[in-house]
Structure 1
Amino acid sequence: MVKKIISSLNAFGLFTTLQIFLFPCINMGLFKINKKSYRSAVRHFVKKAISKTVEKYKNKSSYDESYISDISPIWFCWWQGEKNMPDIARLCYKELEKNKGSHSIIFICKDNYQKYVQLPAIFEERLRLNQISITHFTDVLRFALLREHGGIWLDSAILVLNPLKLKNLSFYTNKNIPKDDLYISNYRWTGGVLASSKNVAIINFVYDSYIEYWTKYKMIIDFMLMDYIIDIAYEEIPQIKKEIDDVPFSNEDFYTLKSIFNQKCDIILIEQIKKTSNLLSLNRRLKYSIYNEEKHLTYYGYFLEK
């Protein structure tokens, strides 16, 4: 935490550091963040940081949007390349190939992304100087690809159970009924599941916001910058609110296996999940085993061997 505060002082100055990292701590004890106050402070900062983009889209009255095509590409990215994917990403890629339907898959990595999109130089510079992480660079990349080509972006830890059917939508994301305050999105969208046609307001807005933000700053204010940007767009820009509100609830069990994927497999549960969900969210940071300590097949083992 101390290191983060020092980095923030260097990147954002004293006032912002006090507002975001220290003031919310006053009533919570030293270095314990009051989540509500912290999020409010970050949101205020991000809104100011992207203010020109917000005003630009507030004043835009017409959008030429088409529906997501049945043959639009699916974008799947592992920065270090297909041969260097960890086991969970390899599993998700295998299942995606089985369930891609009429869509083609385009594998994106550091060696080929420029074939599909040219990013402003500021992003390359931030990456070269280690001012933006690979994770947040690929956040920018997904919006650039969707903006220019349309298609479906699926993170490397999204398990596809059935082919996606995106009918009469210009924008799609995983959307669930809110159940807690764990996510800034309040379950209205999922950054790892994004689909759109070209020239969709929400995609263009986030991309332009990234350009404005990273032109001004050399450090990310919060790991969940994407969600703060979308949340601001939802509150400030009617067209984007409509695009998000028009997305139907789906994938009821999106998070069900995320914390138990290494546990004993329950085939009945899997069959139930397949009836409610086409996509599942997994944790790519965990190490997975085919069998648990009691030698029972795990959920990971089931999908790997089937």
Structure 2
Amino acid sequence: MKKKINKKEVLLTSLKNGTFLPLMMGTLFLGQDRKGLELIRLIVRYKLMKKLRKENAPAIKEFLSSQKSFDKKKSNKVWICWMQGLENAPELVQRCVVSIQDNLPDRDIVLITEENYSQYVEFPEHVMNKFAKGIISPTHFSDLLRLELLTRHGGTWIDSTVYCTSPKIPSYMLDSDLFVFQGLKPIDGHVMQISSWFITSETHNELLELTKYLLYKYWEKYDYMKDYFIFHLMFQLAIETYPEKWKEVFPASNTLPHILLLNLFEDFNQTWWDNLLLTTPFHKLTYKFDESETIKDGTYYKKIMKELIK
């Protein structure tokens, strides 16, 4: 289930974003196996981040000088999105959504679709035009959607591929002024600190407002992705702009919520499962895997699909 590295796509992107030279030097010294390519990607992303800092400095200054004062409020809304409607979603996505509904009964869970998202948010004209033309992909439109929903309404964004296994959820995950899962250690050499699949926020949170502002500026200027994780890179700029506010965010590792994904097609073991449930109530999964893997009986995947395990 690991995402395959597309060498041609990496090469073309590096030519566009000005990181071709470090890419070639990295390839020369580190080789082209998976580990080598992962290290090269870190190097390229580090170089790109330096460029983004310089390029976005005027925009950040502009944002800070023009920032308005808003009354901030929290919300019990939980935002989940499947644009085609839940009835058309993969079965795993449907199971994930049911698990959230069952374990968060006191939250106002809103399913966002293509039919209703305009009831909650509006986007700049250039964003809608580029989305309609396919320049902004559905994935990156989703990045903008979660930012608009949270800055306007507050609450918690949960990706539709997140499986919930307990109603006992730490308050910092759902009730903080801002919460995201983070890459905690080691962070040296990594320019991205956060995961974007689970975000809790008050309305008009400064870090999210700045991230949104920078992404809108980006899509005004560019018709291509400098990096697939452009959301995370812009969020990193927001972290660097508001270091004191970032210190207030409780540090929760983004590693534990991926343990189930890494073992999804292993043989089910009750003791192992019980221990997993003690680590986190949320588990980031994917519906993109080889269908042949789903045939095997007695796996964690089969257990999830057949019954909601408490």
With structure 1 as the length reference, what TM-score do the two structures score? 0.83
Q: Is the 8 A contact 1:263 1:292 kept in 2?
A: no
Which of the residues 267, 283, 299 maps onto 2:270? 267
Of 40-49 and 207-216, deviating more is 40-49
Q: Secondary structure at the match of 1:192?
A: strand
Contact 1:166 1:172 in 2 (8 A): no
CA contact (8 A) 1:68 1:171 kept: no
CA distance in 1, matches of 2:10, 2:279: 41
SS of residue in 1 equivalent to 2:179: strand
Q: After the TM superposition, which residues 34-73 of structure 1 pair with which residues of structure 2 at under 5 Å, given as runs?
A: 34-57=40-63, 66=72, 68-69=74-75, 72-73=76-77
Whether 1:105 and 2:109 are equivalent positions in the alignment is yes
Q: Is the partner of 1:218 in helix, strand or coil?
A: coil
CA RMSD of aligned residues (A): 2.9
Question: Offset of 1:304 from its aligned partner?
Answer: 2.2
| 8 A contact 1:289–1:300 mirrored in 2 | no
Give the 3-state SS of the residue equivalent to 1:198 in structure 2. Answer: coil
Sequence identity, in percent?
21
Number of matched pairs: 291
Q: Does 1:241 align with 2:261?
A: no
- Give the TM-score, by structure 2 length: 0.82
Identify the match of residue 198 of structure 2 among 173, 189, 193.
193
Cα contact 1:152–1:196 (8 A) shared by 2: yes
Is 1:174 matched up with 2:181?
Answer: yes
Q: Would the aligned equivalents of 2:208 and 2:235 in 1 still touch at CA under 8 Å?
A: no
C-alpha contact 1:250 1:277 (8 A) present in aligned 2: no
Q: Is residue 100–residue 163 contact of structure 2 (8 Å, CA) maintained in 1?
A: yes
- What is the rounded CA distance, in whole Å, between the counterparts of 2:129 and 2:161 in structure 1? 28
> Matched residues in 1 for 2:266 and 2:105: separation?
30
SS at match of 2:146: helix
**Matching residue of 1:133:** 137
Residues 147 and 110 of structure 1, relative CA distance in 2, 3 Å threshold: same
| Structure 1 residue runs without a partner (length 5+) | none
Letter in 1 for 2:61: E
Shift of 1:64: 5.7
In the alignment, the residues of structure 2 paired with residue 95 and residue 182 of structure 1 have an alpha-carbon distance, to the nearest angstrom, of: 36
Shift in alpha-carbon separation, 1:65–1:298, aligned structure 2, 3 A: farther
Residues 258-287 of structure 1, C-alpha deviations (whole Å, 9 max, x = no match): 121122111111211212211111123124
Cα distance in 2 between the residues matched to 1:100 and 1:287: 31
Q: In 2, are the aligned partners of 1:154 and 1:194 still within 8 Å (CA)?
A: yes
Q: Is the 8 A contact 1:262 1:298 kept in 2?
A: yes
Q: Contact 2:176–2:200 (CA<8 Å) still a contact in 1? A: no
